A and B are shown apart, each in its own frame.
Chain A
Amino acid sequence: MPEFGPDAPTGYLLVAALLFATGVFAAISRRNAIGVLIGIELMLNAAALQFAAYGRFAKSAADPQGQTAAVFVIVVAAAEAAVALALLFAVYRRTRDIDLEQNRELRS
């Protein structure tokens, strides 16, 4: 079994790991809420890829369960994006900005 390539799990999993880390970086380092959202989407995308990859290589025969889980991840991502953007919209209407540095209302 080749280590990397379309027929080996390592490549997919590595890409997923990198995507996840990149998402973490984006989520933390962006001060704009949309930037944070992009980071979160990247992380979710990584998770979906992970499911799909494990589903493909888990058993001797292809297993649809991985794909199904990935679909669920995408669904959750969609719901999250909808709610998050609604929240952003609400914040925007109050402060005319969605910069997290200016909107540090989580501070006690």
Chain B
Amino acid sequence: MIALVSFAASAALAVVGALLAASVRNLLHAALLLGVSLFGTAGLYLFLGQPWLACVQVVVYIGGILVLILFATLFSSDITGSGQRAPRALWFAALGTALTTALAAWRLVRGGVEALAARRGGEPVVPPAVGSTDAIGDLLLGAWFAPFFLAGVLLTVALVAAVAIVQRHRRPEVEAEHA
């Protein structure tokens, strides 16, 4: 019972946080609410028996990406004003698209659940949730080595690219202007 309640709480945290993050006007609040939502997801990973993933989520996502985003909000000239919302027509378009997407996703979920049930052949027993950091490590350096390697390259390229983009506009005339 406690498990169910805490599971529901995590799910609610994830969904409500996301909804608020999408809709509040203040950008700073939105970023923080995104963090709430990410925490909720991390909780869900725990219920899935994947504590390692939960840790990665918290460390990389919340500790890295979210802090980056919060840092970026400082660039924005107007994080609380009325200018945060898109034109009315676009807002409706967003709502429509989101609802359509939700509908489509729900359909996929239903299909996925049915497929899972069919694959287990009606077997009622849910496999035990076992932490498997070892297995992941094997996998990353074994069968998934190529993707793992590519992810590393991607991260490096991203890092270099980010620096390059920021650097590119440091032209002499701009510097002269700044001086």
- Please say whether the chains A and B touch (CB closer than 8 A): yes
A99 to B159, CA, bound (A): 24
CB-CB under 8 A from A54, the residues of chain B are: 112, 116
Give A1-40 interface residues, CB cut-off 8 Å to B: 1, 5-32, 34-35, 37-39
A56 touches B105 (CB 8 A): no
CB-CB under 8 A from B112, the residues of chain A are: 9, 13, 54
Question: Distance in Å from the Cβ of B7 to the closest Cβ of chain A?
Answer: 4
Question: Distance in Å from the Cβ of B84 to the closest Cβ of chain A?
Answer: 6
CB-CB under 8 A from A87, the residues of chain B are: 165
* Residue count of chain A within 8 Å CB distance of chain B: 81
CB-CB under 8 A from B52, the residues of chain A are: 67
A34 touches B61 (CB 8 A): no
A26 to B83, CA, bound (A): 15
B151 touches A20 (CB 8 A): no
A20 touches B169 (CB 8 A): no
Among B37, B64, B127, B147, point to the contact of A42 (Cβ < 8 A): B37
B68 touches A20 (CB 8 A): no
A81 touches B69 (CB 8 A): yes
A14 to B113, CA, bound (A): 10
B75 touches A92 (CB 8 A): yes
Question: Distance in Å from the Cβ of B134 to the closest Cβ of chain A?
Answer: 9
**A67-B136 CB under 8 A given contacts A62-B129, A75-B154:** yes
Give B83-126 interface residues, CB cut-off 8 Å to A: 83-87, 90-91, 93-95, 97-99, 101-102, 105-106, 108-109, 112-113, 116-117, 119-120, 123-126
Among B38, B78, B83, B102, point to the contact of A45 (Cβ < 8 A): B38
Most buried by A among B18, B31, B166, B168: B18
Interface residues of B (CB under 8 A from A): 3-4, 7, 11, 14-15, 18-19, 21-23, 27, 30-31, 34, 37-38, 41, 44-45, 47-50, 52-53, 56-57, 60-61, 64-65, 68-69, 71-73, 75-79, 83-87, 90-91, 93-95, 97-99, 101-102, 105-106, 108-109, 112-113, 116-117, 119-120, 123-130, 132, 135-136, 138-140, 144, 147, 151, 154-155, 157-159, 161-163, 165-166, 168-169
Interface residues of A (CB under 8 A from B): 1, 5-32, 34-35, 37-39, 41-42, 45, 48-49, 52-62, 64-65, 67-68, 70-72, 74-83, 85-90, 92-94, 96-99, 101
Between A and B, 23 residue pairs with Cβ closer than 8 Å are A1-B126, A7-B126, A17-B106, A19-B37, A21-B102, A24-B98, A25-B23, A28-B93, A28-B97, A32-B27, A34-B69, A38-B21, A45-B37, A45-B61, A54-B112, A56-B50, A58-B116, A79-B158, A87-B165, A88-B72, A90-B166, A94-B169, A101-B83
